Structure 1
Amino acid sequence: MALATSDAAYFRRSSLLWFTVIPVSFGYYTWVVLWPQSIPYQSLGPLGSFTQYLIDHHHTLLHNGFWLAWLIHVGESLYAMVLCRSKGITDSRTQLLWFLQTFLLGIASLSILIAYRPKHQKRT
């Protein structure tokens, strides 16, 4: 039995909440690590005070964590490609969507793909 077209092109967008929270957080993290001198700490209230404390006392940890987070997102994206193939998602556009969404959102996207159970399995 061949895979159904819907299985080959299965894609589900993550929630709007994750599309907001994760990129904004990652953007702020990028700003903190790469341009800490430009952050208006006093205007950010408790977040600004906490951020300034982290920069003053844990800059190396922040810097290393930043690059580790990028590396993890790349790894999750590559794993999403492996999962696509193993679940019969063969449409190249759909695979690209999974790769990009997982790169941006990490586990918030990957968990959707992990939970997906194809209706039809390939017979070999």
Structure 2
Amino acid sequence: MGSTGSDKDYFQRGSLLWFAVITLSFGYYTWVVFWPQSIPYQSLGPLGPFTQYLVDHHHALLHNGYWIAWLIHIGESLYAMALCKSKGITDGRAQFLWFLQTFLFGIASLSILIAYRPKRQKRT
């Protein structure tokens, strides 16, 4: 995608490093929110006591923040669709990939699309 020189099918995969960091972080966040009793706090170094404090004293905030984070990702994905249209990315597969990648990885994906500058062809 995007290799044809046309803007309509432009897609660029994000950084695997960012994707790994986001996946591990969100996975840990999910674990903390839904299964806090199964976390081996004493085995996590400095992260353990901090996490246990948050679970013990701010679990409602963690739970609400979790769902707010997903809502933000949905908003970013919808914004990605609007950006695709405004930048001339009309290919359905490319649009779906931008939506999915932005839903899963948020700003790590959206920032690539925001920075993309399509080649504007002169109209004759």
Query: Could you tell me the TM-score, scaled by structure 1's length?
Result: 0.91
Report the aligned-residue RMSD. 1.5
Maintained 8 Å contact 1:88/1:122: no
Aligned length: 120
Q: Quick one: structure 1 residues 77 and 122, their matched pair in 2 at CA, closer, same or farther if it must change by over 3 Å?
A: farther
Q: Structure with the greater relative contact order (CA < 8 A, sep ≥ 6): 1 or 2? A: 1
Does residue 46 of the first structure (1) align with residue 46 of the second (2)? Answer: yes
Matches within 5 A, 1:23-102: 23-102=23-102
Superposition deviation, residue 121 in structure 1: 5.3
Give the superposition deviation at 1:99: 0.6
TM-score by length of 2: 0.91
Taking a change above 3 Å as real, the CA distance of residues 92 and 22 of structure 1, as seen in their structure-2 partners, is same
Runs of at least 5 residues in structure 2 that lack an aligned partner in the other structure: none
Q: Determine what percentage of the aligned residue pairs are the same residue.
A: 81
Residues 88, 118 of structure 1: 8 Å contact kept: yes
Q: What stretches of structure 1 of length at least 5 have no aligned partner?
A: none
Shift, 1:42, TM fit? 1.0
Residues 101 and 80 of structure 1: CA distance in aligned 2, closer, same or farther (over 3 Å) = same
